Structure 1
Amino acid sequence: MAKNDAVDIKRINELAKKKKEEGLTESEAKEQSKLRKAYLDSFRDNFKKQIENTRVIDPEGNDVTPEKVKKILDSKDKKDNN
């Protein structure tokens, strides 16, 4: 993760702690929601990229990557070549 993500996580945690201890103001609740959404969007995007770049090889050396992932990889390769 980038340095900004670490700062966002720190702030998310600060707001979560404050929410438990004393509650949040309306603006803090909005900030928390915005930060959580940005963090989750980034996490999902990074996870998707990781899965899309993964091949599964069995002990005999055969590619046993699930068909759904193969289709994504094939369509991604076609886009990159155009």
Structure 2
Amino acid sequence: MAESEEQDKLLKRINELAHKNKKEGLTEAETRERERLRREYIKNFREAMRSNIEMMRIFNKEGKEVTPEKVREIQHKKGLRDD
């Protein structure tokens, strides 16, 4: 399953539980499920964001690369750069 599909399913279930909580409340098991799903959603989001940032190259208006050194170092370690 693609990451975005998995995230969509997690978010859909989180929202279902949120609506149920507003209407009638959640059982203890549903409350635990909601917390587990929220943690998983945030973990996946952070991993995707980190990956996006690590893959990014930034250029100024003159066309000179200005990618932060820390990001360049990570890119070198992961074999994403050869300069």
TM-score (norm 2): 0.83
Give 5+ residue unaligned stretches, structure 1: none
- Structure 1 residue 23: deviation in Å? 1.6
Matched residues in 2 for 1:4 and 1:45: separation?
Answer: 13
Moved over 6 A (4+): none
1:1-82 equivalence runs, <5 A? 1-77=3-79
Q: Look up the SS of the partner of 1:2 in the other structure.
A: helix
- Structure 1 residue 50: deviation in Å? 0.2
**Larger proportion of helix:** 1
How many residue pairs match? The answer is 78
Q: Report the RMSD for the aligned CA atoms in angstroms.
A: 1.6
TM-score (norm 1): 0.84
Q: Could you tell which deviates more after superposition, 3-12 or 49-58?
A: 3-12
Give 5+ residue unaligned stretches, structure 2: none
